[in-house]
Amino acid sequence: MYELLSSVVMSGALGAQCVLTLVLLKGDICPGQRGRLHKAFWFIVAAWAVVIPFSPFSVLPFIALGIFSLRSKSGKTRLSGPIPILHLANGFGVLAVLVSAWQQGSAAGLLMLSQVLLVGAITAHCLLVRARSRLQAFHRILPVVGIVASMFMAVIIAVTSASMPESEANTLITSLLSSLGLVVCGVIIWALHLLRQTPPRLAQLCCALIVIASASGLAMSAMV
């Protein structure tokens, strides 16, 4: 059970790490936002630390991202920290997730890769709102990424279910349908600020993260 949850945490950590890297390097952010963004990386460092017992390769992004965070200023700054180390941490993160996905098998591995987009995007959105990011484009783009990723996840589950023996598919159908229902609920909660045309709230996004992570864990348990 904990190993399956670690797969969800790994996917979310990698996806969020890549989004924050993009914001840090390409976003038009002020010194105050840059410092708060550097602080946000510590949450991802903690996520990598949690999954090390289940995925030894996770120690590589944990160490690299930890070094980047230690050497980055958390106050107002125009400096982005040691970017080569951040790129190295991203590469190590991709390696750790690919190895874990390969160990899970084809169906669960594909599902795990889809969670890099889904869980990663909502995790990054939570961290950006917590860092008081003013990049409005990401508040619109990230929920759309989540919608696309949830559709990809639904296709993987449908194709996998169709290829299963009937007796096995009947056993798992409840778990798979429940996971899809939770994903839909999570994405709707996530996109509420778009429907209402209001700024996203951290409580709303955290609620969406919990629902989506639960759905991902349930889907992984059914696939394995």
Q: Who's near 134: CB < 8 A, 6+ residues apart?
A: 29, 30, 33
Q: What is the CB neighbour count within 10 angstroms for residue 74?
A: 15
CATH number at residue 96: 1.20.1630.10
Per-residue pLDDT tens digits for 139-150? 889 999 999 998
Residue 190 has pLDDT above 60, yes or no: yes
DSSP code per residue over 10-66: HHHHHHHHHHHHHHHHHS---HHHHHHHHHHHHHHHHHHHHHTTT-GGGHHHHHHHH
C-alpha to C-alpha distance for 44 and 114, rounded to whole angstroms: 18
Residue labelled with tokens 């107002």 = 76
In whole angstroms, what is the distance from residue 162 CA to residue 155 CA? Answer: 11
Give the Cα separation of 85 and 160 in Å (integer): 38
Using the predicted structure, report yes or no on whether residue 170 has a pLDDT greater than 90. no
One-letter amino acid of 116: V
User: CB of 133 within 8 A of CB of 37?
Assistant: yes
For a pLDDT cut of 70, what percent of the chain falls above it? 92
Residue found by looking up tokens 């090390």 in the block:
52
In this model, does residue 169 exceed pLDDT 70?
Answer: no
Residue type, 25: L
Written as one letter, the residue type at 167 is: S
What does the mean pLDDT of the chain come to? Answer: 86
- The token pair at 47 is 């996520």
Q: Is the pLDDT of residue 18 over 90?
A: yes
Contact by Cβ (8 Å): 69, 45: yes
Domain count, the chain: 1
> CA of 1: how far to CAs of 5, 213, 224, in Å?
6, 13, 11
Query: What type of residue sits at position 182?
Result: L
Mean of the pLDDT values across residues 119-140?
Answer: 90
Domain range holding 122?
Answer: 2-223
| Whole-number pLDDT of residue 174 | 75
Q: Which residue has the higher pLDDT, 6 or 84?
A: 84
Q: What is the pLDDT of residue 2?
A: 60
More confident residue, 27 or 192: 192
Say whether pLDDT at 90 is over 90: yes
Q: What is the mean predicted confidence (pLDDT) over 120-135?
A: 90
The single residue listed with the structure tokens 């949450």 is: 43
